[in-house]
Structure 1
Amino acid sequence: MEKLRGRYRLHRFAPRHAAPFADTPLPGVSAVEFQRQLMDGFQQGMQKGFEQGLAEGHEQGREEGRQKGQDDGYRDGYAEGSLAGQKAGLMQFTEAAAPLEAIASQLNDFMAHAQRKQRDDLLQLVGKVTRQVIRCELALQPTQLLALVEEAITALPSTPESLHVYLSTDEFNRIQNAAPAKVKEWSLMPSAELPAGECRIVTDQSELDIGCGHRLSQCMNVLKETLAPESDDA
């Protein structure tokens, strides 16, 4: 700063470099030539910028398209591969399970056969034991057949004019010794054709089988249905 008459003023420094003027023609170049060069430079810059932008846009679009195609291909390929894998897995499982299904079917048949055999064996055993018990009871108390005869005669709708009761020979002899009055009252008669425990009532209108074998057969049928209702229904 310089001091002038007791006052101060700002000192302005000259610029170190003069600012170039873009619109000022270069020495030796006319204004028209300068303007043409300026326009050529502008066109070149514009063309270069356009080409660069086009190249960058093309590269960016190609990259985006590649990425989108990759994503779409991955998604579609995953879906198709998953579906194909499921079908192939199901086919392999079906093929692998076929022998097991055959074994299971054979096992079911075997179990069903075993159950039927057990049922038949049980029925045979029950029938055999029951017949043996009936023989023993009739041998000890032959008059038990008379209760069956009385029950059947009472159930008749009317008193028949002709009535004959047939028993096995052995049981007739036992009853004749134990209850001779009943033998005469009901016209009990021996029959060599009837086995032990059997009894038939013959009237002028009908013939009734009231023997133990017939009753046992009915009981065994009920027992058979009870043991295997599903097999009988099938």
Structure 2
Amino acid sequence: MLKHARPYRFPPLAQVLAQAQPGSAPGLGDVQAALTQGFQEGLDKGYQEGLASGRADGQAHGLQEGLAQGRQQALDQARAEARARWAALATPVDALMQALRQQRAEEHAALRQDVVDLVAKVARQVIRCELTLQPVQLLSLVEETLTALPPTRDDEVEVFLNPEELERIRELDPTRAARWQLRADPALEAGECRVQAAGREADAGCRQRLGACMAQVQAQLGPDDDAPLEAAA
């Protein structure tokens, strides 16, 4: 054992606190108040810092959403204005295109009718010349017409012709002219002929046949109103 050793005595806590803070001797209540004040100050500081941080984050997020919403609204408005301007520009253009289509359709219809009329005129001239030279050909039309009627004896068939053509047929081919009962009908034009047999009457003239041919010609030239407008260029 060490000689001359003395036991150490710890000073009182109040003395230690007095030495640490000269001029004051706080009690337990003062320490508790200081702790409470420090906690409250830390709480207030944290609240203020959190509020400031949250406010900054909220402003930044709100700014981004506002910018995005503003851009979308501006885009929608620009699209709507563009559609309105396009509609305003397209209306007269559509009307012009419709007028051009109508005009083209009328021109094509008139052209087709001119072609049909020209063909019919030429055909009538050819038929007239042919019948003038060979009026007996009308009897061939009579024979063709009789094939579409019920069978009938030749002496029961009546054929009505233009008086001038009837005389020329009797002169040129009396044998064939005697086959049926040929009658003169002043109401019939040259090239026209009517046949009566078995209680039925049929048109054996050239006009009806020419009309059927012209209908076929007009059908072949059929309308093309649905063709694109560019095809007319």
- Alignment partner of 1:225 is 2:219: yes
2:162·2:193 contact (CA, 8 Å) conserved in 1? yes
- In the alignment, structure 1 residue 125 sits paired with structure 2 residue 118: yes
1:172/1:190 contact within 8 Å kept: yes
- In structure 1, the gaps of 5 or more residues are 1-21
- Cα pair distance change 1:28/1:221, threshold 3 Å: closer
Distance 2:179 2:45 in 1: 136
Equivalent position SS for 1:157: coil
What is the CA RMSD across the aligned residues, in angstroms? 2.8
Q: Deviations over 1:119-155 (max 9, x none)?
A: 1111111111111111122222222211111122343
CA contact (8 A) 2:152 2:197 kept: no
Q: Is the CA contact 1:200–1:211 (under 8 Å) kept in the aligned structure 2? A: yes
Matched, 1:54 2:47: yes
Residues 1:105 and 2:98 are matched in the alignment: yes
d(CA) in 1 for partners of 2:158, 2:21: 164
Q: Write the distance in 2 (CA, Å) between the matches of 1:127 and 1:27.
A: 135
| Aligned partner letter, 1:183 | A
Kept after mapping to 2: 8 A contact 1:169/1:191: yes
CA shift for structure 1 position 157: 1.1
CA contact (8 A) 1:26 1:34 kept: no
Match of 2:174 in 1: 180
Shift of the 145–26 alpha-carbon distance from structure 1 to 2, 3 Å rule, reads same
- The CA distance in 2 between the partners of 1:44 and 1:32, in whole Å, is 15
Mark the runs of 5 or more structure 2 residues left unpaired by the alignment: 1-15, 226-233
* Aligned positions, number: 209
Deviations 1:72-102 (A, max 9, x none): 2222233333333323322221122111111
Relative to the length of structure 1, the TM-score reads 0.76
Greater relative contact order structure (CA < 8 Å, 6+ sep)? 2
1:195 and 2:189 equivalent?
A: yes
For the 8 Å contact 1:182–1:188, the answer to whether it is kept is no
Aligned equivalents of 2:118, 2:223: Cα separation in 1: 19
Preserved CA contact (<8 Å) 2:17 2:25? no
